[in-house]
Amino acid sequence: MTRVATAAVELRFTASRSAGEVSALLARPEDARALYVLAHGAGAGMRHPFMGAIATRLAARGVATFRYQFPYAERGGKRIDPQPILLATIRAAVAAAAEAAPGLPVIAGGKSMGGRMTSLAAAAEPLAGVRGLAFLGFPLHPAGRPGTERAEHLARVTVPMLFLQGTRDALADLALLRPIVAGLGPRARTVEFEDADHGFHVPKRSGRTDDEVLDALAGEIAEWAPRLS
């Protein structure tokens, strides 16, 4: 039987008192077993093809998604909001997602910067109702400047964490990330995607396609999320 694609419903919520309202897209399949509050990366908003592709694949596996804009992306700007506004938006998005799709176990995270900001929010204070964090390419350091300072807060995150990382990711030297995740203990694990870069693109010589990598990413999240308690 062919599965009908899940249509996304556009919503709005208040990011913060100073930043005003932002847009969101909720895709909830009828058989949803979990809800992923999915933040976008620094250079593209919630409608980026990567975000849409992941949401579609997750819906096909019974995971609802709540994609949302940070205020600067809502305005069409390129200058990222100050960190307090980003963190406030994440907390507001988690609350709005839970209200829009009640009754589902909630995980949060996102692509690159969106995932890292979600972890910073969770480290400062647990995100209400969130059972785990899933990162689609955790940006451990700027390209060409290896370091671990961006991961120092992860020890203060109290929920399980799933790091989905490409082995060619210029923003995450796996030789640095692996021991960090190992040091977090059983609540954290990394799944590596051979030859994938920060956008999870793979070269032809890898023998796989980008679509196959996206399928694998969605499969890992769909298997992990419903098991969290």
pLDDT in tens, 152-171: 999 999 999 999 999 999 99
Say which DSSP state 148 is in. S
CATH superfamily of 9-227: Alpha/Beta hydrolase fold, catalytic domain (3.40.50.1820)
User: Could you tell me which of 156, 154, 152, 160 has the C-alpha nearest to residue 130?
Assistant: 160
Percent of the chain at pLDDT exceeding 90:
94
Distance CA 167, CA 65 (A): 26
Q: Is pLDDT of 129 > 60? A: yes
pLDDT-derived band at 2 (thresholds 50, 70, 90) equals very low
- On the 0-12 / 13-18 / 19+ scale of CB atoms within 10 A, 7 is exposed
CA dihedral of residues 169, 173, 178, 183 (deg, nearest 10):
-120
Once rounded to an integer, what is the mean pLDDT over residues 1-5?
A: 50
Q: How far apart are the first and last CA of the chain?
A: 32
- Domain boundaries of the chain, sorted by first residue: 9-227
The pLDDT of residue 7 is 85
Find out whether 105 and 228 touch, Cβ atoms under 8 Å. Answer: yes
The pLDDT of residue 4 is 54
Find out whether 56 and 63 touch, Cβ atoms under 8 Å. Answer: no
- Averaged confidence pLDDT in the chain: 96
pLDDT-derived band at 6 (thresholds 50, 70, 90) equals confident
Once rounded to an integer, what is the mean pLDDT over residues 161-187?
A: 98
Once rounded to an integer, what is the mean pLDDT over residues 101-110?
A: 97
Once rounded to an integer, what is the mean pLDDT over residues 94-113?
A: 97
Q: Is pLDDT of 127 > 70? A: yes
